[in-house]
């Protein structure tokens, strides 16, 4: 399988992944209940590809990121560079996959200088002599837009943006095959976040790693990524190239995310089910059902277009109105509805205007 993956240039393979947690409830007589967080999640990320995973808070994005990092149990298969996580091979696995998180301050040791923090992965993996490690740290500081003088500073002496640059540099020190960036710009203010996005773009130009970029912000994901998967309640409801998902959204939830972007509703044509403004209005007026019937579409309880056909959960099917076979949506409307058309890609500043 790993040979097959490398032939296809697949860095990450996520196949039929499910994850559960046990809800202990409140009170001493409360019954323990098994709740599903991830539901049959499957996708691949190719070599050098930036892949965006977008959805609202609590939908399971970070759970998936942690499962890929080997930090959470799951059912199914996850392979990075053809290798599955195992505790005995943890060291080799961490060379392949690294992460950048939302809060750079808590990710850095306040008692260690920036130079020591960035040297640590090389030290832990016995890579190079001390001089070579210091040289590699200085080179990496330059690469992430800082200079060698930062090596002697402590995290408290740096701004939020500079700290996130250090975290990105530290994640790159082992030249991983995959980086998971989990809400990596969400805690930064708009201008600093835009600089970090631009840094990702610059690094992407000479990159030989793939990235899973997790965010609640569809604009940011579109700005940065080659392909996008939209997640709702632990299920991927739409997946395709960034152009297809952003410019030709099909699933009502994807449209709702787009409708939440200020000034975006006027930028979409009526696709037969109404403009984004209509969809947002319909959703606001829709009386949300408490629970989905067993086996129903995961968006049934919120969907203004739900009918009896939706009581059988739809699987991801190809969207016939776009050229790419990779564009798929888990909605009964996917096969019959012309996709919506959205106009031009926004700037990096616009990428931050989303409140979804």
- Site residues, ligand SF4 (CB under 6 A): 251-252, 297, 299-300, 303, 305-306, 310, 314, 331-333
CB neighbourhood size of 112 (10 A): 14
Residue 184 makes CB contacts below 8 A (sequence gap 6+) with: 100, 101, 102, 164, 168, 196, 213
Least Å distance between CB 299 and ligand SF4?
4
Alpha-carbon gap, residue 304 to 333, rounded angstroms: 12
Q: Tell me the H-state helices in the chain.
A: 2-8, 61-68, 90-96, 104-107, 114-124, 130-143, 160-172, 190-205, 218-224, 242-247, 252-259, 276-285, 348-351
Q: Which is nearer to ligand SF4, 82 or 304 (CB)?
A: 304
Q: Which is nearer to ligand SF4, 93 or 232 (CB)?
A: 232
Least Å distance between CB 235 and ligand SF4?
10
- Do residues 319 and 326 make contact, with C-beta atoms less than 8 angstroms apart? no
Q: Which is nearer to ligand SF4, 154 or 305 (CB)?
A: 305
From the list 151, 90, 157, 161, the residue with the least C-alpha distance to 118 is 151
- Do residues 319 and 299 make contact, with C-beta atoms less than 8 angstroms apart? no
Q: Which is nearer to ligand SF4, 154 or 286 (CB)?
A: 286
Q: Which is nearer to ligand SF4, 170 or 303 (CB)?
A: 303
Least Å distance between CB 219 and ligand SF4?
22
Least Å distance between CB 295 and ligand SF4?
12
Least Å distance between CB 23 and ligand SF4?
25
174: its two tokens: 């082992």
């Amino acid at each position: 399988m790993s040979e097959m993956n490398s032939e296809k240039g697949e860095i990450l393979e996520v196949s039929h992944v499910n994850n559960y947690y046990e809800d202990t409830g409140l009170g001493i007589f409360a019954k323990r209940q098994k709740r599903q967080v991830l539901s049959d999640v499957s996708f691949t990320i190719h070599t050098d590809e930036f892949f965006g995973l977008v959805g609202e808070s609590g939908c399971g994005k970070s759970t998936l990121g942690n499962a890929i990092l080997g930090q959470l149990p799951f059912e199914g298969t996850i392979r990075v560079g053809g290798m599955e996580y195992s505790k005995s091979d943890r060291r080799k696995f961490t060379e392949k996959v690294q992460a950048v998180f939302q809060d750079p301050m808590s990710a850095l040791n306040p008692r260690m200088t920036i130079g020591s923090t960035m040297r640590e992965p090389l030290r832990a993996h016995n890579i190079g002599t001390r001089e070579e490690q210091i040289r590699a740290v200085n080179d990496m500081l330059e690469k992430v837009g800082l200079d060698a003088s930062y090596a002697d500073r402590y995290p408290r002496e740096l701004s939020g943006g500079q700290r996130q640059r250090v975290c990105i540099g530290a994640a790159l020190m082992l030249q991983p095959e995959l980086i998971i960036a989990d809400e990596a710009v969400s805690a930064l203010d708009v201008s600093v976040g835009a600089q970090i996005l631009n840094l990702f773009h610059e690094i992407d130009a000479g990159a030989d790693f793939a990235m899973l970029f997790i965010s609640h912000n569809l604009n940011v994901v579109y700005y940065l990524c080659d392909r996008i998967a939209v997640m709702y309640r632990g299920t991927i409801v739409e997946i395709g190239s960034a152009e297809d998902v952003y410019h030709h959204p099909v699933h009502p939830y994807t449209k709702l995310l787009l409708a939440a972007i200020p000034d975006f509703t006027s930028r979409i044509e009526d696709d037969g089910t109404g403009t984004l403004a209509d969809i947002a209005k319909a959703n606001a007026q829709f009386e949300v059902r408490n629970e989905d019937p067993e086996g129903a579409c995961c968006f049934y309880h919120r969907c203004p277009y739900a009918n009896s056909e939706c009581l059988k959960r739809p699987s991801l099917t190809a969207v016939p109105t776009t050229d790419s076979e990779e564009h798929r949506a888990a909605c009964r409307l996917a096969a019959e509805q012309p996709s919506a058309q959205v106009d031009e890609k926004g700037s990096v500043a616009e990428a931050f205007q989303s409140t979804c």
